[in-house]
Amino acid sequence: MSAHPPSERRQRLVVVGHGMVGHRFVQAAIERGVTETHDVVVVGDESRPAYDRVGLTTFFEVGADALSLLPTGGYDDPRVRLLLGTEVTAIDTEARTVGFAEGDLDYDALVLATGAAPFVPPIEGRDLDGCFVYRTIEDLEAIRDAAAHEGARVGAVIGGGLLGLEAADALARLGLETHVVEMAPRLMAVQVDDAGGAVLTRHVEQLGLTVHTGARTSAVLGDRGRVTGLALADAEPVAADLVVFSAGIRPRDALARAAGLEVAERGGVLVDEQCRTSDPHVWAIGECAAPAGRMYGLVAPGYAMAEVVADVLVGGSGSFTGADMSTKLKLMGVDVASFGDAFASTEGALELVYADAVTGVYKKLVVSEDGRTLLGGILVGDASAYGVLRPMVASGIALPDNPEDLILPAGRGGGTELGAGLPDEAQVCSCNDVSKGEIVAAVAREDGPCDSAGCVTRCTGAGSTCGSCKPVVKTIVEDWFAAQGRVVDRSLCEHFAMTRQELFDAIAVHGHTSFAAVLAAHGTGRGCDVCKPTVASILASQLNHHVLEAGARVLQDTNDAFLANIQKNGTYSVMPRIAGGEVTPDKLIVLGEVARDFGLYTKITGGQRIDLLGARMEQLPAIWRRLVDAGFESGHAYGKSLRTVKSCVGSTWCRYGVQDSTSLAIMLEERYRGLRSPHKIKGGVSGCARECAEARGKDFGVIATEKGWNLYVGGNGGASPVHARLLAQDLDTATLVRYLDRFLMYYVRTADRLQRTAPWVESLDGGLDRLREVVVDDALGLGEALEAAMAQHVDTYFDEWAATLEDPDKLARFTSFVNAPDVPDPNISFSSTRGQAEPLLHEGPVDLGATIAVGAPR
């Protein structure tokens, strides 16, 4: 490369670094018109374009291509040139050139986005074979290869912060016994307090990981040049075949230092409020920068800096004066969030705490001394309120009279919704600095307004990074549409501008058989944890295929992925179907023998089944082999599908019974077994009006009369119990079944994701009366089609566990450790209570029940 001769030419902007922040800067520069006056050269030392480091752990599931932020490998704007696998060796600020091995390239403006590098503490053994850092896709590929090494069984992560737990999750996904070693007295010490850290530790350990807090690593142990473990100061050593360092990051500021640019005392290129360095032609953004001497290790502040510099380059007055350091993430299935003044450092601050040791939920709000303003908070185990609470901190909106309602469970006064009540200046998306006013402006503008929450995300960026603000974005958009008298958009997510019902119909019409085909035809992006399981459920409903087929297994929720419900200590429950609650003595004996031989806890459920708890993952196939051989089949306790049809003994035994409720319950359960649906479905059949089967507390309930059967629909138990209501009465059995076929298939076809039948009935225009018109009167002419769909389901039903046992590829999933399939997870252990197994969680006594401490001064 050579410098341009000093002649009339367009200006040149050089960007050093093509990570998430560098990519965001280029996007902002294009959007603001910087390329109208500048040719842009972007230099990245990695061989691949920018990719999503926030979602790095999903690499093992989705692959590198799915993480790419630039799938085409280049920018559409021809004035932007991308150089990958290219290292900048020097910067000459006087000559205004950047140096490469091949030569120099001159610049008029230079933006440094070199990011940060993992910090590896200077301890003995850090260079042994088997030591890794956790930063790039190449790092993960190397870790994956090492985990596949013969004999690799145990991995250890040094560091229990955000990245450390992400790294631990990666090791666990690779099938390694995993240890987390953290020098601080708690996990995620920067984000959560001692109580929150204790709850997080319990969650992590219940998932099978071992946590060592307050433990300093003094050396990496080795033998013949390879890692064998960690030596801990004042603690027993930890054996390990693989070690990952995740003890923090350090800004990559070497180029800036060598060029004579000023750096902060603790590292990072020192920049002003416009992110300009000590040289007026050089800017620094992201983790390599230190505005006012402080380095920000999150993507959101980097994005904000990128926007500021892009604005400055077109003559704007953008400035960076600090950033929201709030974080929300899901670590190994555990929600964790921290926002605002989480540690109550403000003078006079008060703390409101909700702690439920049983469910593993910890929530803390920090409020002003007068109790009127929210200052910050911590959420562990349930961060669903984060999207509502965090904007309240930035906006200063007044707290309600009972602020504890904001963190109490919905059934105890919580679940407060917020959206329309936020002021326009409230920051809704901290990652991309999007206010409520900007969201409203996107849907209100006259020249091509956004017509959905997904469109708002694409136009404003709100919700496009960590996704935690999506519920609030959706609420704001829907509230605005409702206030204007417009139809409210019900898009499934930003990847599908369709409702679940519309998507269901589209898949049926086009005959799609895979998520990839559905996404290509009707969606954008790579999907998310909303649309993937939704599409998986729709495909299962329509095709009745095995949920663990190739291409479908990665879409499933945790329970479906292993055809069993995961329990708090990392074991699984086994629940075979016992239709109508009827079971023979021989089958009872088999259940007892299986429970005895595998050391399982047994309990009779409220749905008249027997639950066997405490099975290790690798034991599930052996357990189910015995159950299937004895005539049992999957009870689908793990799926969004029919669970049970409860019954009383009816006229066969009971002197009050007027119909054979048991036979009908068995017939209905065997008819609808395996029916995948938007949410779980439960039924009940009572043999008389005494209602011993509690049928009116079910999604569908049948109560016998002297003339036949009364059909009730739309009931459920749970946190918000609802009584089912009468749909039709005095039905013969054939008519009852016909109406139930229509009711269930209409629900499967039209309900929203995770919507139970009770709110679904209420959501219909006309409620129960409208449902009666569709099901009983066939007002839409759908009767035959709905009945045919149910008949197709009945005809193609198969037992998922029986099919799994005959497929070696599916069976290969059921191992605790990929490299040692016969080795049980040593972190799972049991004690004994009342003569039965009970999970041993390796912790002190737990206070059973929830406690609330309101207004406790700091």
| Per-residue model confidence as pLDDT tens digits over 626-661 | 999 999 999 998 888 999 999 999 999 998 899 999
- At what angle are helices 470-483 and 386-395 packed, to 10 degrees? 80
Tell me whether residue 315 is exposed, middle or buried, using C-beta atoms within 10 angstroms of its C-beta: 0 to 12, 13 to 18, 19 or more. Answer: exposed
Going by CATH, does the domain composed of 641-798 fall within 3.40.50.720?
Answer: no
- Neighbouring CB atoms inside 10 A of 195's CB total 15
* H helices present in 630-782, as ranges: 650-653, 661-672, 733-750, 757-763, 767-775
Place of tokens 């499934």: 492
Tell me what pLDDT residue 29 has.
95
* H helices present in 687-834, as ranges: 733-750, 757-763, 767-775, 783-796, 800-805, 808-811
Render 152-193 in DSSP notation, one character per residue. Answer: --EEEEE--SHHHHHHHHHHHHTT-EEEEEESSSSTTTTT--
Chain centroid to CA 666: how far? 37
Q: pTM, whole model, 2 decimals?
A: 0.59
pLDDT band at 40; cut points 50, 70, 90: very high
Contact 848/357 with Cβ under 8 angstroms? yes
What does the alpha-carbon distance between residue 480 and residue 436 come to, in Å, rounded to a whole number?
Answer: 11
Tell me what pLDDT residue 725 has.
93
pLDDT band at 816; cut points 50, 70, 90: low
pLDDT tens track for 388-431: 788 788 667 778 777 887 887 643 333 334 555 566 766 677 66
List, in sequence order, every beta strand (DSSP E) within 590-742.
601-604, 610-615, 642-647, 681-686, 700-705, 708-713, 725-731
pLDDT band at 740; cut points 50, 70, 90: very high
pLDDT band at 436; cut points 50, 70, 90: confident
R_g of the chain computed on alpha carbons = 30
Q: Kindly state which CATH superfamily the domain 11-117+251-313 is placed in.
A: FAD/NAD(P)-binding domain (3.50.50.60)
List, in order, residues 6 or more apart from 597 with CB less than 8 Å away.
Answer: none
Tell me what pLDDT residue 551 has.
66
Contact 784/736 with Cβ under 8 angstroms? no
Q: Is the pLDDT of residue 58 over 90?
A: no
Average pLDDT on 501-518 reads 88
Q: Is the pLDDT of residue 88 over 60?
A: yes
C-alpha pair distances (Å), 7 with each of 10, 35, 84, 856 = 10, 19, 28, 69
What is the CATH T-level fold of the domain 120-247, as seen in this structure? FAD/NAD(P)-binding domain (3.50.50)
Tell me what pLDDT residue 133 has.
95
pLDDT band at 823; cut points 50, 70, 90: low
Map residue 550 onto helix, strand or coil. Answer: coil
C-alpha pair distances (Å), 348 with each of 67, 203, 265, 626 = 45, 32, 32, 63
What does the alpha-carbon distance between residue 657 and residue 688 come to, in Å, rounded to a whole number?
Answer: 5
What does the alpha-carbon distance between residue 246 and residue 505 come to, in Å, rounded to a whole number?
Answer: 47
How many Cα atoms occupy the beta-carbon half-sphere of 233 within 13 Å?
Answer: 8
Q: Is the pLDDT of residue 856 over 50?
A: no
Amino acid at 818: V
Contact 139/38 with Cβ under 8 angstroms? no
Map residue 435 onto helix, strand or coil. Answer: strand
Q: Is the pLDDT of residue 845 over 50?
A: no
pLDDT band at 814; cut points 50, 70, 90: confident
What the block records as the tokens of 845 is 């006594």
- Looking at the structure, give the CATH architecture of the domain made up of residues 420-488: Orthogonal Bundle (1.10)
What the block records as the tokens of 763 is 């959501």
Q: Is the CA virtual torsion 691, 693, 694, 695 positive or negative?
A: negative
Same fold, 11-117+251-313 and 120-247: yes
Name the phi and psi angles at 418, rounded to 5. Answer: -145, 140
pLDDT band at 698; cut points 50, 70, 90: very high
> Which contacts (CB < 8 Å, 24+ apart) does range 498-503 have?
498/522, 499/752, 500/534, 500/538, 500/678, 500/751, 500/752, 500/753, 501/749, 501/750, 501/751, 501/752, 503/534, 503/535, 503/538
List, in sequence order, every beta strand (DSSP E) within 183-326.
210-213, 217-223, 226-232, 238-239, 242-245, 249-251, 269-271, 282-284, 289-291
> Which contacts (CB < 8 Å, 24+ apart) does range 408-417 have?
408/354, 408/852, 409/719, 410/719, 410/720, 411/719, 411/720, 414/385, 416/385, 416/388, 417/388, 417/475
Tell me what pLDDT residue 844 has.
39
What the block records as the tokens of 375 is 């200052």
pLDDT band at 858; cut points 50, 70, 90: very low
Mean model confidence pLDDT for the chain: 86
What does the alpha-carbon distance between residue 350 and residue 344 come to, in Å, rounded to a whole number?
Answer: 7
List, in order, residues 6 or more apart from 689 with CB less than 8 Å away.
Answer: 703, 704, 705
Amino acid at 671: R
Q: Of all helices (H) and strands (E), which one includes residue 429?
A: strand 427-429
Contact 284/264 with Cβ under 8 angstroms? no
What does the alpha-carbon distance between residue 149 and residue 128 come to, in Å, rounded to a whole number?
Answer: 15
Tell me what pLDDT residue 332 has.
67
Residues above pLDDT 90, as percent of the chain: 52
Average pLDDT on 457-465 reads 76
How many Cα atoms occupy the beta-carbon half-sphere of 156 within 13 Å?
Answer: 25
Tell me what pLDDT residue 842 has.
47
Contact 346/201 with Cβ under 8 angstroms? no
Tell me what pLDDT residue 303 has.
92
What does the alpha-carbon distance between residue 307 and residue 609 come to, in Å, rounded to a whole number?
Answer: 58
Map residue 281 onto helix, strand or coil. Answer: coil
Amino acid at 50: A
Average pLDDT on 160-175 reads 88
∠ Cα 761 767 770 (to 5°): 110
End-to-end CA distance of the chain: 61
Average pLDDT on 800-828 reads 76
Q: Are strands 103-106 and 97-100 parallel, antiparallel or unpaired?
A: antiparallel
Residues above pLDDT 70, as percent of the chain: 89
C-alpha pair distances (Å), 656 with each of 457, 580, 650, 668, 709 = 60, 19, 8, 22, 15
C-alpha pair distances (Å), 791 with each of 270, 702, 795, 800 = 70, 21, 6, 19
Q: Which of 293, 256, 257 is nearest to 273 (CA)?
A: 293
Tell me what pLDDT residue 857 has.
36
Average pLDDT on 721-730 reads 92
Tell me what pLDDT residue 720 has.
67
User: Where along the chain do its domains lie?
Assistant: 11-117+251-313, 120-247, 420-488, 641-798
Q: Is the CA virtual torsion 332, 197, 290, 391 positive or negative?
A: positive
What the block records as the tokens of 168 is 């631990």
Q: Which of 125, 115, 43 is nearest to 82 (CA)?
A: 43
What does the alpha-carbon distance between residue 363 and residue 365 come to, in Å, rounded to a whole number?
Answer: 7
What the block records as the tokens of 514 is 């895979």
Contact 44/71 with Cβ under 8 angstroms? no
Average pLDDT on 128-157 reads 91
Average pLDDT on 346-372 reads 88
Place of tokens 């972190």: 827
Tell me what pLDDT residue 321 has.
85
